[in-house]
Amino acid sequence: MKDPGRPFRAVILAGGQGTRLYPLTEAVPKPLLRIDERPVIELIVRRLVYFGASQITVAVGHLAELIERFLGNGQKFGVPIDYVRESHPLGTAGSIGLMPAWDGPLVVTNGDVLSDIDFQDLLRSHDALSATLSVATKIRSLRTDAGVVTTNASLQVTGIVEKPLIEQRISLGIYVISDHVRALIPLNQRIEMPELIQKLISCKQLVAAYDHTGLWLDIGRPDDLAKARADAAIWGKAIDDAARTDCNDMRQ
């Protein structure tokens, strides 16, 4: 059987209202929207388990009871699952402050992102750099729709490039957070992950980027959800292949 590597705790942020996907999210929370036959959050849970998650906490808010009913205590996924429930929206980092103190690195993932990221490799990178917080990132190329002019201080044109590609490093909504970060997250106060990261940088803490070159998709918008559903076989393949690999290893 495949060695999953070091066990780790994980948090899935699943409390958002999914306003950009309304009316789909009026009666169904965004993490329960289905990609083929499986909700997004199931794909996330199964991938975390495959890479060694020993306990998963799900931060819930909007339509929390539906997510809790679907995941239950985690028995059907082979991992203990518990919950922290927001009484009001706490942002992408605030709900982590509701958790009891944890030991070691904590893997945090938004509940609306699909990825084939290797969580063990992400953890190894975090440890190797002795980072306080690691952000999974991806290089995205965006083509501008006009010529870009460069000038000097006297507004003399020094160059022009027609519709250039501009590369940007974007956050994937997947993080590793060291245990002492919890002290910087205010209890029951809204704080977004970018605010927390800026706070760490201000405190001279090392925040590291982990570049992921594989698959990633945020399903927060209708067109991205449609793309995920059109490519459902791709997103299910990583989970299905992992299961087959484990079974094949047991037969050897």
pLDDT number for residue 207: 97
With beta carbons less than 8 A apart as the criterion, state whether 214 and 117 touch.
Answer: yes
Domain coverage including residue 228 = 8-138+169-251
Q: What sign does the dihedral 93-95-97-101 (CA atoms) show?
A: negative
Instruction: Examine residue 161 and state whether it is found in any structural domain, yes or no.
Output: no
Give the per-residue pLDDT at 176: 98
Rg of the chain over CA atoms, in angstroms? 20
Q: What is the mean pLDDT of each run of 10 residues along the chain (252 residues)?
A: 74 82 75 86 93 95 92 95 91 91 94 92 96 96 88 94 90 96 90 95 96 88 78 65 43 34
Residue 246 lies in a domain: yes
Residue 38: CB atoms within 10 A of its CB come to 14
The angle formed by the CA atoms of residues 207, 50 and 99, to the nearest 5 degrees, is 50
3-state secondary structure of 251: helix
CA atoms of 95 and 169, how far apart (whole Å): 25
**Residue 45 forms part of a structural domain:** yes
Whole-number Å distance between alpha carbons of 57 and 82 = 5
Total domains in the chain come to: 1
Cβ-contact 142, 166 below 8 angstroms: yes
The answer to whether residue 233 is domain-embedded is yes
> Is 81 a member of any domain?
yes
184 within domain boundaries = yes
CATH of the domain at 71: 3.90.550.10
Give the number of residues written for the chain: 252
pLDDT single digits (tens) 128-186: 999 999 999 999 888 888 999 999 999 999 999 998 888 899 999 999 999 999 999 98
Which of 195, 160, 164, 171 lies closest to 181 in space, CA to CA?
195
Q: Would you say residue 84 lies in a domain?
A: yes
Q: Would 158 be classed as within a structural domain? A: no
